[in-house]
Every structure is written in structure tokens, then in C-alpha cells.
């Protein structure tokens, strides 16, 4: 419970209705979607105007209070888990789309706007905002920037950072920093939007974000290819790219995931298949027709048992519902679901699939694998029960082994889930001691008291 | 002339043949393409292995020597002008393409690789590296990253930062920092590639760069539209985008530029036209045919006097040669050529054209305007003689006025030329005091002695 004088200070900024400190209220903000211990904050504040963010940040800095900004709390690496005695700032009420500019193809938004709602609003104006993280129906755009959220369309359309044109944010003193522009080209000063992306709330508190929008593809075609052999499926992925086709989405599901999804929602999936590829090509209608035909041919050349082409919108929706069901279906099976996102160059996916099979066997664990095969970003998902200490120990060993494999293949620890609290101990293995020290010096200069989302990325190593 | 003991130290790193300190040798590295006073460095070193960069940087830091990395020296804002008594590091010998990976669509290069040579090598393997700055035949990829170089394809394909996947660089201690990946998705730690882009050599010395490659468009069609009215031409630009067409290039030339280019190389341009739009659409052949037809129609609806569609490769080359001639032709007219790149949201191009006409008249100056209309990045080019003090004073006032207009229209000081020495005094006007201070704190923590390309961006304000 926070001290009364302090609560008064927060109330003076956001109003008494928007400050919470009772345990029953703060508990809801003590965890996120990562499998990590929860930590209840001392205070939760809910600003209703972005201007209040500056005053909140300055107040936290004055008192040395840890400040964690929280959008929807869907983070998978503990980025939204607050610090003991700290402050959680909710962005839910900062949910205005400030401008959708059709002539200049950009949008300005507050940080609490929900991703899918924004994408739908953009679509209703005839434009396209491609990033589609799995949590898009609840995740916020501020959170997406803080984590550089990815999604299914990464291969062809890129990730959140590829749409970030400008940002304004409050520094620890509560002063407003502005960088980037409403123009595609802007080199006025350091690329601070580039620095804010993936910074996990550790370098500033976002005030307003400018995103690039693009014209939507005119047509799309979805397909489901069924394989008897996981390696045939993963080799197909490389063959499609080698044919110079960049599908909008190119997703993979292994047999375990297929069966679990089919059990979750009777979807009529081929439960005896070793693997499925779910593929969508998009663009000009003529290009879509050609590419769909080529993709079908490539799948068959790689021993696909069948390639089902979606006949209509309903059929297409069914294909993608199966993919979207993967995580909830798997998560339903066991008390604890560890969703990893180690990423490899896509030509190494066959090798990664073999490694995952080996790791699953070695540590006697159930691993369901699905994910964004097209950009090498698989989601091996370990199903377990954290209360089973012996098994949990094996899970930790398996995660280490997955990271070792990904790095040995020229990949990365995290494609889209972030480092947060969960992976900071692995950072040096992928980068270098000098990288950690460089980041540490930068962080320290921009947040001398270490109040901005402490412990995330490399902050745990701050002296 | 640098002190002999110091020269010995540099010679120990790169060999005696690769250290220059005689005035006759250092003079060549005292200026770049900006209209600014030259400053000769004390020492010029030419490393032949990237590993030597770390030792050179550490040595400069030990002695507090200003270090300026120089690629081709084509910088337009003074970013490559060294500091008095400083060291220039030439990257010309660090020109290896280390890997072109066709399966995973990336390339790894040393910083001194020449842009056009790289693009050609990529093209020869059937892939595409889109960034095409005007200086591409001589500019280096390291310089392109340091400046976030743009070019003609910014609207549809983005700029250098959109292709930067990973980078390793030496910090001031000479230690190697690594960030980013060979995968499209990577959120392992701070986005240091994003921070390095446009940092103008002030935060680290680049060692190796990883770029994203994409499949090339299958077809392209070039067109030249002739207008009697500048505003008709500039309104056509917005109308094309409003029709949801993103041309690969959408370039503008005013009458003064047209006449100058035609005089430079008898190209048969319509010298009585008020303005030209040079347009190229690319993609799937069916899409190209449709878009070319639509673009032609839109041009005519906006009173284009004629629209010439390139009939073959030779005709196409002629169209683009005219555009490439714009700067050399203009620069040929007068002793001093000031090439600006203030950028506005593209819907404001008509207003910007009106403002430029007003400014030209008010300050009695010759301004030729051409540039990347599609992304709002015009290049008003002031032709003058710096030795004419009275006129030069008017030039400086005109530049201030151009920046004021661009910022009032929601634009930016610099679309692609950088801040360098030339524009740092305008930075606060576009951003905020807090932005400068934030940048200053960051710079100071990463380069405490201020040795990395001092005076560039905000460094002049370092205390």
C-alpha cells in the first residue's frame, strides 16, 4: 500500500478516480502473458490525457519510483511485469486515433489504441496497416511499438518498426521529445523512433505515434498444404522463396498442434498429417492467380499429399481460424504453456525442426510447434505444469537448448516476443559483452535513476 | 602535420603505406559535397581490414583525437568534413561483399562497398536492393547507413533504414558491438541498427552491415508527363497516390531545370513546359499495364499537355538520364550550387511549389527545383556564387525561409541529406529543446570525449 501523500500527488495529476492502490485493484496488473512470478505494483494510475503522462513520469523520477507502462499486458517475456513498490501506468484511456491521412498515407494515434481496431479503421478508409501480432484484438499500438510486435505478415510486409514514422515521448524529466516525421523520408537528427522500437518502455513514455499506411492488396488467395513429412513441409518454405514468391503469410503447424486445434474446435483438419502449411498470396489479381498456381505446384513437388485452395471468404476464414486457434488450443492442454520465439534464417527451418524433435525427446517434454515459417519465426510451445519442479527443471534446460540451436544456426533469441525479464541472461550469448555495456551506458544516461521499467532487456545488469 | 610518435602508432595498425599526413595528401579529405568551409585533417588512415577499425578508434579515443569516417565524401550537409587536427578514416579498401544469401534474402557487406556495385551484384543474382541515392555510383553502403540515404524509390520501396537488418560496429573503446540479425524478425535487445542509421558517424565506427534483399519487380513502365502549369503537375502527384497507386519513382522537374538539363545534354526535352513528371510503375506485368494506363489518365485529367510512354529500354534510359542530369546540369551554371532537401507531406507539394516561387522572387535568387515529388522530398537548388557576399546573405535568408515553410506544412528540415554541420542550428525548431538534450545525453554517454565525428547533428551543442 502506497503512502497517502504520494497517492495525493498522483490524484492531483489524473484525479482520484484514476488512482488505485488497494491490493484487490493492483493485483490485476501484477502479471502478463509470460510464465514468470507476478509482482503487484504499489500504485496503478490511469491517465485520461496524454499530457498527464509527462507529469506522472516526472513525479516517478522525483521519488525514484519504478514506472511500468501497461497497454493490454499481453507481453510474453515479462515486459509488463512491474517492480515491487512501483507504479503501473495504464494507457487504456489514451485510445484516440488522432488523424487518418488518406492523401499522405499516415496515421497519428495515442498509445492505447487497440491494434485490430486501428487496422479495421484504416481498412474502412481503403488503406492497410499490415502488422498483425497474435494478440491484436486486445494489444495496443504503444505496446506494439515498445515490443516491435510482429505477426503473420512479417515476411512480405515487415513488422511494427517498418511502419513507425514518428514518435513523441516523455523523457524521465517529463519533457517531451519528438522525432521522425509525417514524411517517408526524414533524417532530422538521431532516429529516435528507431531507438524507441523494441525498447520495452525503458527509455521513455510514449505520447503520440505516427504510422505509415499503404494501399491494400487488391486480391488474396489462401491455401492449405498437407504433408506426411515435417521436413518436406519445411523444405517447401525455402522453395517458395527461392521461386521469388513472397507470400503475405506462410504458416506452419506440426501434427501435435493440428490434432490439438482440431480437438479444440472441430475444424475438420487432417489430424493424421505430419505438418500443414497455411499460405496466403496477395497483390494484383493476375499476380495472385499465377503465384497461387506456382505455390501449389511447389507444394506438390515437395510431396504435399493435398493442397486445398480456399474457394470463398468463408473457406478462407476457416483456414486462418485454425491457425489462430493454435495457441489457445495448446494453452488449454496443460496448466503451463511456454511459448518460445527463437528465430532462424528460413533456410534453416528443416534443421530447426529436427533439433526441436531431438530436444523434445531428450528432455521428455511435449512440444507443439507452429508459427511463421516464412520468416523463420517458429513458436515451439512447451506444455507443462510449473508446479512439477522436476519437469520444470527439464523445461528450463530445453529452452537453453533451443536458444543454443537457434544461435548456432545464425538466428536470434527472440523474433517478436522481446527480451523482457525472461531472456536478458541470454543477451550476451547472441551479441557481445560490449553490446550489453554500450546499451547499459545509453540507458543510464537517459534514465539515471533507473525508473523506466527496471529489470527489462539489460537493465538487470545496471550497477 | 601530426606528431611523429602518433603517426607511428597509426602505422603500427594499418602499415606505413596507409597513413598520410602531408598537406598535399590530407587536403583531398578536407571537404565534401556541402557548401561549407574545408578543414584539413592531421592524419588520414586507410585500413585494409575491418579489424583495424577497432584499434584505430581506441587509439583516437586514447589521445582524444576527432575521428571522421569517410566513404566517398558525397555528403551534402558537411557530415564528412573532419575536425581540425583530426583523423580521417577511409573505408575504400573495406569493400568486400561478404555474403549474398539467396535463400534467406540478405547480404553481409563491409562498409566501403559502393552502392551501385552492390546493387548490380545483387541484381546479377536475381534479387533487388532498392535504395538508390543520387550519388550511388560512388557512394558507399557505410555512408548510406550513416546518412540513411534515400533516393528515387523512397515512396514505394523506402530508404536505407528499411533494408538494414543488422550491424556490428566499434564503440569508442574499440570493442565490437553487434545488433540485429539475418532474420526479418529480431527483437534481441535495443534496436541499435535503428540507432546507427542516420547517426552520421557520431555513435560508432561501422564494421559489418547486413541488408535485406527482395525479389525484383517483373516489369516496369516509364512515362514522362508534360505540364503547362506547375500546380497541375504537383496536384497530379497527390491524385496518383489517392488512386492507390504507389509508383516506384515519381519525379518532378521545373521549367528552369528542364531547360538547364536540355542545354547540358541535347535530350530533346520540352523546354517550354512549366513542369515534367517522370513516373515509373513496376510490379507484375498486368499490374504495370493497368497502373500505367491509370497514371496516364490521371495526368491528362490534370491537364498534362502530353504523356509519353517509354517504348523500349533505350527510351526508358533516356527519360531517367534526364532526371539524373538535373543536379550536374544545374551545378554547372554557377560557381556555387546549394542543394536543399526540405521535405513536406506530399499533399503539400503544390503549396511548397508556390512558396518556393515566392521565396525565389523575394530574395531575387535563381532556384531550380526538381526531386522526389512522390515522397514530398523536393530539391530546391539555389544557384549562386558564394564569393558574392551580398547575394550569399540573401541565400542564407532564403534557406531559412524554405525551412520555415517546410516545418509550417508539417514537413522536415532534411529528407535524406542529413543534419551534419549545415543544419544543426535548425534542429530545435523542428523537434524540441528536450529532444536535443535527450540526444546530447545519449551521445555523451556513448562518446564521453566527443571524438566521434564532432560537431555533427547536435554535437556542436555539447558542453
CA distance B23 to B4: 15
Question: pLDDT grade, residue B315 (50/70/90)?
Answer: confident
Q: Which residues neighbour B354 within 8 Å (Cβ) at sequence distance 6 or greater?
A: B231
C-alpha cell at B78: 558537411
Residue A296: alpha-carbon gap to chain centroid: 30
User: What pLDDT score does B463 carry?
Assistant: 44
> Are A326 and A256 spatial neighbours (Cβ–Cβ below 8 Å)?
no
Question: pLDDT grade, residue A226 (50/70/90)?
Answer: very high
Region of poorest pLDDT, from A61-75, A317-331, B388-402 = A317-331
Mean pLDDT of A57-63: 98
- Asked if residue A462 has pLDDT above 60, the reply is no
Average of per-residue pLDDT values in chain B: 95
Angle made by CA atoms A256, A149, B347, in degrees to the nearest 5: 135
C-alpha cell at B448: 564521453
Strand pairing class (A164-170; A205-212): antiparallel
Domain covering B217-332, topology: Alpha-Beta Plaits (3.30.70)
Q: Is B18 left (phi over 0), alpha (psi -120 to 50) or beta?
A: alpha
| Model pLDDT for residues B123-150, shown as the tens digit of each residue | 999 999 999 999 999 999 999 999 999 9
Residue of B nearest to A284 (CA): B287
Q: From residue B391, how far is each of A330, B366, B368, B419 by CA, in Å?
A: 73, 11, 16, 24
Contact A187 B419 (CB under 8 A): yes
Residue of A nearest to B128 (CA): A244
Region of poorest pLDDT, from A309-318, A432-441, B103-112, B256-265 = A309-318
Q: Return the sign of the alpha-carbon dihedral for residues A109, A112, A115, A117.
A: negative
| Model pLDDT for residues B145-202, shown as the tens digit of each residue | 999 999 999 999 999 999 999 999 999 999 999 999 999 899 999 999 999 999 999 9
E runs forming strands in B146-303: 164-170, 176-180, 205-212, 219-227, 249-254, 275-283
C-alpha cell at A412: 536470434
Q: Return the sign of the alpha-carbon dihedral for residues B40, B42, B44, B49.
A: negative
Within an 8 Å CB–CB cutoff, is residue A268 touching chain B? no
CA distance B437 to A374: 42
| Model pLDDT for residues A266-306, shown as the tens digit of each residue | 888 999 999 999 999 999 999 999 999 999 999 999 999 99
CA distance B405 to B399: 10
Q: What's the number of CA atoms in the CB half-sphere (13 Å) around residue A141?
A: 30
CA distance A320 to B94: 47
Contact B458 A181 (CB under 8 A): no
Q: Which of B203, B212, B110 is nearest to B448 (CA)?
A: B203
Question: pLDDT grade, residue A1 (50/70/90)?
Answer: low
Is A396 buried (19+), middle (13-18) or exposed (0-12) by CB count in 10 A? exposed
Q: What's the number of CA atoms in the CB half-sphere (13 Å) around residue B4?
A: 0
Question: How close, in Å, is residue A240 to chain B by CA atoms?
Answer: 10
Distance linking the first and last C-alpha atoms of chain A: 28
CATH number of A334-425: 3.30.70.2740
CATH number of A97-212: 3.30.465.10
CA distance A260 to A262: 5
Q: Considering only the C-alpha atoms of chain A, give the largest distance between any 2 of them, rounded to a whole number of Å.
A: 71
Question: For testing the chain A interface, which of B104, B164, B438, B456 should be mutated: the one with the most A CBs within 10 Å?
Answer: B438
How many Cβ contacts (< 8 angstroms) between chains A and B?
A: 297
Contact B187 A416 (CB under 8 A): yes
- Asked if residue A460 has pLDDT above 90, the reply is no
B58 three-class SS: helix
User: What pLDDT score does B184 carry?
Assistant: 87
| Residue found by looking up cell 543474382 in the block | B125
- Asked if residue A82 has pLDDT above 70, the reply is yes
Contact B179 A435 (CB under 8 A): yes
| Residue of A171, A216, A411 lying closest to B181 (CB–CB) | A411
Contact B432 A177 (CB under 8 A): yes
CA distance B343 to B349: 9
Interface of B with A in 271-290 (CB under 8 A): 283-287, 290
The 8-class DSSP code of residue B219 comes to E
Contact A414 B186 (CB under 8 A): yes
| Model pLDDT for residues B10-59, shown as the tens digit of each residue | 999 999 999 999 999 999 999 999 999 999 999 999 999 999 999 999 99
Which residues from chain A sit within 8 angstroms of residue B150, using beta carbons? 185
- Asked if residue A118 has pLDDT above 50, the reply is yes
B452 three-class SS: strand
| Model pLDDT for residues A142-177, shown as the tens digit of each residue | 999 999 999 999 999 999 999 999 999 999 999 999
Question: For testing the chain B interface, which of A99, A168, A177, A187 should be mutated: the one with the most B CBs within 10 Å?
Answer: A187
Question: pLDDT grade, residue B459 (50/70/90)?
Answer: low
| Residue found by looking up cell 555539447 in the block | B462
User: What pLDDT score does A267 carry?
Assistant: 82
Question: pLDDT grade, residue B319 (50/70/90)?
Answer: confident
Residue of A nearest to B421 (CA): A189
Q: Which residues neighbour A124 within 8 Å (Cβ) at sequence distance 6 or greater?
A: none
User: What pLDDT score does B266 carry?
Assistant: 87
Phi, psi values for residue B253, rounded to 5°: -140, 130
Q: From residue B345, how far is each of B160, B280, B405, B415, B434 by CA, in Å?
A: 19, 20, 12, 11, 24
Top-level class of domain A217-331: alpha beta
Region of poorest pLDDT, from A182-191, B280-289, B454-463 = B454-463
Domain range annotation of chain B: 4-90, 97-212, 217-332, 334-425, 426-461
Distance linking the first and last C-alpha atoms of chain B: 28
User: Dihedral of the CA atoms A147, A151, A155, A161 (nearest 10)?
Assistant: -30
Mean pLDDT of A401-416: 95
| Residue found by looking up cell 574545408 in the block | B38
- Asked if residue A461 has pLDDT above 90, the reply is no
Contact B419 A189 (CB under 8 A): yes
CA distance B376 to B159: 14
Average of per-residue pLDDT values in chain A: 95
Q: Which of B417, B378, B396 is nearest to B79 (CA)?
A: B417
The 8-class DSSP code of residue A280 comes to E
| Model pLDDT for residues B196-231, shown as the tens digit of each residue | 999 999 999 999 999 999 999 999 999 999 999 999
User: What pLDDT score does A319 carry?
Assistant: 84
C-alpha cell at B371: 526531386
User: What pLDDT score does A372 carry?
Assistant: 94
Question: pLDDT grade, residue A198 (50/70/90)?
Answer: very high
CA distance B314 to A383: 62
The 8-class DSSP code of residue A266 comes to -
Interface of A with B in 137-196 (CB under 8 A): 147-148, 150, 154-155, 158-159, 161-162, 171, 173, 175-179, 181-195
> Are A203 and A196 spatial neighbours (Cβ–Cβ below 8 Å)?
yes
CA distance B74 to B192: 25
Mean pLDDT of B270-296: 97
Q: Is B159 left (phi over 0), alpha (psi -120 to 50) or beta?
A: beta
Within an 8 Å CB–CB cutoff, is residue B447 touching chain A? no
Please name the residue ranges forming H helices in A332-380. 349-362
Contact A214 B147 (CB under 8 A): no
> Are A214 and A280 spatial neighbours (Cβ–Cβ below 8 Å)?
no
C-alpha cell at A284: 494484383
Interface of B with A in 417-436 (CB under 8 A): 417-419, 423, 427, 430-435
> Are A415 and A375 spatial neighbours (Cβ–Cβ below 8 Å)?
yes
Do B217-332 and B334-425 show the same overall fold?
yes
Question: For testing the chain A interface, which of B190, B415, B422 should be mutated: the one with the most A CBs within 10 Å?
Answer: B190
CA distance A395 to B166: 30
Q: Which of A279, A284, A315, A319 is nearest to A299 (CA)?
A: A279
Tell me which of 3.40.50.300, 3.30.43.10, 3.40.50.720, 3.40.50.2030 is the CATH number of domain A4-90. Answer: 3.30.43.10
Amino acid at each position: 500500500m502506497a503512502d497517502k501523500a504520494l497517492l495525493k500527488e498522483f490524484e492531483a495529476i489524473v484525479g482520484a478516480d484514476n488512482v488505485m492502490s488497494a491490493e484487490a485493484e493492483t493485483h490485476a496488473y501484477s502479471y502478463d502473458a509470460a510464465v514468470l512470478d507476478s509482482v503487484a505494483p504499489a500504485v496503478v494510475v490511469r491517465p485520461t490525457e496524454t499530457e498527464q503522462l509527462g507529469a506522472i513520469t516526472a513525479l516517478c523520477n522525483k521519488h525514484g519510483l519504478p514506472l511500468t507502462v501497461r497497454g493490454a499486458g499481453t507481453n510474453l517475456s515479462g515486459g509488463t511485469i512491474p517492480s515491487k513498490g512501483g507504479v503501473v501506468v495504464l494507457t487504456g484511456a489514451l485510445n484516440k486515433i488522432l488523424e487518418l491521412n488518406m492523401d499522405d498515407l499516415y496515421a497519428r494515434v495515442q498509445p492505447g489504441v487497440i491494434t485490430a481496431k486501428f487496422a479495421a479503421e484504416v481498412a474502412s478508409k481503403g488503406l492497410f496497416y499490415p502488422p498483425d501480432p497474435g494478440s491484436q484484438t486486445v494489444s495496443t499500438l504503444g505496446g506494439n511499438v515498445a515490443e516491435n510486435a510482429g505477426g503473420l505478415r512479417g515476411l512480405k510486409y515487415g513488422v511494427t518498426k517498418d511502419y513507425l514514422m514518428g514518435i513523441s515521448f516523455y523523457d524521465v524529466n517529463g519533457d517531451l521529445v519528438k522525432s521522425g516525421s509525417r514524411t517517408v523520408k526524414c533524417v532530422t537528427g538521431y532516429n529516435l523512433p528507431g531507438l524507441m522500437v523494441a525498447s520495452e518502455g525503458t527509455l521513455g513514455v510514449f505520447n503520440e505515434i505516427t504510422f505509415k499506411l499503404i494501399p491494400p492488396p487488391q486480391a488474396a488467395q489462401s491455401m492449405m498444404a498437407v504433408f506426411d513429412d515435417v521436413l518436406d513441409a519445411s523444405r517447401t518454405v525455402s522453395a517458395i522463396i527461392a521461386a521469388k514468391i513472397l507470400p503475405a503469410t506462410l504458416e506452419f503447424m506440426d501434427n501435435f498442434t493440428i490434432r490439438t486445434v482440431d480437438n479444440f474446435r472441430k475444424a475438420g483438419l487432417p489430424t493424421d498429417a505430419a505438418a500443414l502449411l497455411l499460405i496466403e498470396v496477395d497483390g494484383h489479381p493476375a499476380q495472385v492467380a499465377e503465384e497461387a498456381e506456382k505455390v501449389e505446384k511447389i507444394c506438390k513437388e515437395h510431396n504435399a499429399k493435398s493442397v486445398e485452395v480456399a474457394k470463398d471468404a468463408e473457406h478462407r476464414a476457416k483456414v486462418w481460424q485454425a491457425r489462430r486457434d493454435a495457441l489457445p488450443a495448446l494453452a488449454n492442454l496443460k496448466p503451463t504453456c511456454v511459448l518460445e520465439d527463437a528465430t532462424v534464417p528460413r533456410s534453416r527451418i528443416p534443421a530447426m525442426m529436427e533439433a526441436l524433435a531431438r530436444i523434445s525427446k531428450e528432455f521428455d517434454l511435449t512440444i507443439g510447434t507452429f508459427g511463421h515459417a516464412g520468416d523463420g519465426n517458429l513458436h515451439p510451445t512447451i506444455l507443462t505444469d510449473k508446479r512439477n519442479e522436476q519437469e520444470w527443471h527439464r523445461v528450463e534446460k530445453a529452452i537453453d537448448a533451443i536458444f543454443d540451436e537457434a544461435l548456432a544456426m545464425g538466428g536470434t533469441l527472440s523474433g517478436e516476443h522481446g527480451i523482457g525479464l525472461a531472456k536478458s541472461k541470454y543477451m550476451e550469448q547472441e551479441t557481445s559483452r560490449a553490446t550489453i555495456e554500450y546499451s547499459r551506458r545509453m540507458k543510464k544516461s537517459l534514465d539515471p535513476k533507473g525508473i523506466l521499467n527496471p529489470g527489462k532487456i539489460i537493465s538487470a545488469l545496471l550497477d
